[in-house]
Amino acid sequence: MTRHPVNSSMSPSPSDLGFAMPAEWSPQEAVWLSWPVADPRHWGGTKKQKIEGIFANLAATISRYETVRLNVNPGELETVREACLSAGADPERLELFDHEHNDVWCRDHGPIFLKHRESGEVAIADWMFNAWGGKFPPWDADNAIPEKVANALSLRRFSSRMILEGGAIEVNGNGQLLTTEAVLLNPNRNPTMSRDEIEAELKRMLGIQQVLWLKEGIEGDDTDGHIDDLVRFTGPDTLVAAVDVAGTPNGRILEDNLRRLRDFRSASGSPFELAEIPLPEACEVPGWRLPVLPASYVNFLIVNDGVLVPTFRQARNDDRALGTLRELFPGRDVIGFDALELVEEGGTIHCLTQQHPA
């Protein structure tokens, strides 16, 4: 394999060279995870063994469909491998990398993968990461993960000085990107950049033509309002949005989102076909730092031939969400994955993972 320069910041942009971020339903080579870190601040410091078991089960579930690649802190490779194999991971689809990191949210600190429209070459878009506006230091090791992945796999890397998390954006593979003002226009990310400058950098780095803006995110979201808890593309012209039917503080926010989504137009000029999934009932942990947890069924992960959906031990609501997604993804296995413990830290399946296109 030919090794490319790992820092292409002075070269033509990815968009100029023919690269773009593929939609999540495109064929995938792998899914990336970052293994839990031994830090007493995470999950209250009391659930490390249980959380590691959940991660091992998640890795094993993904390995039914494709390769799972894990960033693992130094000295833990064999322990993590054994945990994943004991959970049933396919040994032929399990790859571990000795990559130091600070936290588990690979969607946000991991590489955002690009693919060349003609050659099929896969490359990496490497953004700056500051732990959601400086909320959870340290983040230096997390910020270095995209470069480490690029070096490990000999992939071309395009660098940006803009701060961006993967959970803040959603693309449809047809030139359109969804995001929120609450995150990308937040002064805790890029205070010197205007809205137009942020849009221009997204277009330059990700090969998109249009940015569609929602306003706010749901209650309890440490990220300030990531799009992957609010609305997802299920096809170039189709969307599924979280809605509120219980009269919670999220009602106003999600109604505003729906109004905006109904006004948006797909690249063909037609309104998007819009499906709705109600949020689960409030998930709460007495005395925890987040009084209401940001639980959402649209935080699902699309894999080859499957969709992994977070569930919250609410049989009626879980079943309704799974049923809606089965209708939206015919021909794929749509399976629930218990995410109640995961959401205590502010995210679930999509937040923890990052797809690597084939």
| CB-based contacts of 211, cutoff 8 Å, min separation 6 | 176, 177, 179, 199, 202, 203
Q: Are strands 176-180 and 210-214 parallel, antiparallel or unpaired?
A: parallel
Question: What is the amino acid identity at position 61?
Answer: T
Among all chains, which residue has been given the structure tokens 């990336």? Answer: 32
Phi then psi for residue 312, to 5 deg, are -135, 30
Contacts 24+ apart (CB under 8 A), 133-139: 133/186, 133/188, 133/189, 133/224, 134/188, 135/222, 136/41, 136/103, 136/222, 138/102, 139/102, 139/103, 139/109
Decide if 275 contacts 206 (C-beta within 8 A). no
Between 48-63 and 77-86, two packed helices, what is the crossing angle to 10 degrees?
70
Note whether 280 and 246 are within 8 A (CB): no
The residues assigned a catalytic role are 351
DSSP letters along 35-102, please?
Answer: PPP--TTGGGGT-HHHHHHHHHHHHHHHHTTSEEEEEE-TT-HHHHHHHHHHTT--GGGEEEEE---S
Alpha helices in 131-249 (DSSP H): 131-134, 140-143, 145-153, 181-184, 195-206
